[in-house]
Amino acid sequence: MTPKEKAQELVSKFKELPQEGTLMFYLAFEISKQCALIAQKNLLEKLQSLNITDEFEENVLLEINMLYNCH
């Protein structure tokens, strides 16, 4: 699984999204994206507190941030 695939999976776990292209999709997506960002940041903070560096998980955070930035 790539960091981008993991980012998409995290976002989709927070909310089943309505049909893409609708206003409700974008609203639900943004809320789900924010939840995924919080969860991923919490994971990274926990790893950091244990002195663990995980490049994959850091890349997942970057990929979450980049999801649908063009909209």
pLDDT at 44: 97
Task: Report pLDDT for 71.
Answer: 46
| Per-residue pLDDT tens digits for 20-62 | 788 888 888 888 899 999 999 999 999 999 999 999 999 999 9
- For 7-20, the pLDDT digits (tens) are 888 888 876 767 77
pLDDT of residue 17: 67
Contact assessment for residue 65 and residue 12, using Cβ atoms and an 8 Å cutoff: no
CA distance 55 to 37: 16
Which amino acid appears at position 29 of this protein? F
Separation CA 69–CA 64 (nearest Å)? 10
Q: Which helix (H) or strand (E) holds 56?
A: helix 55-66
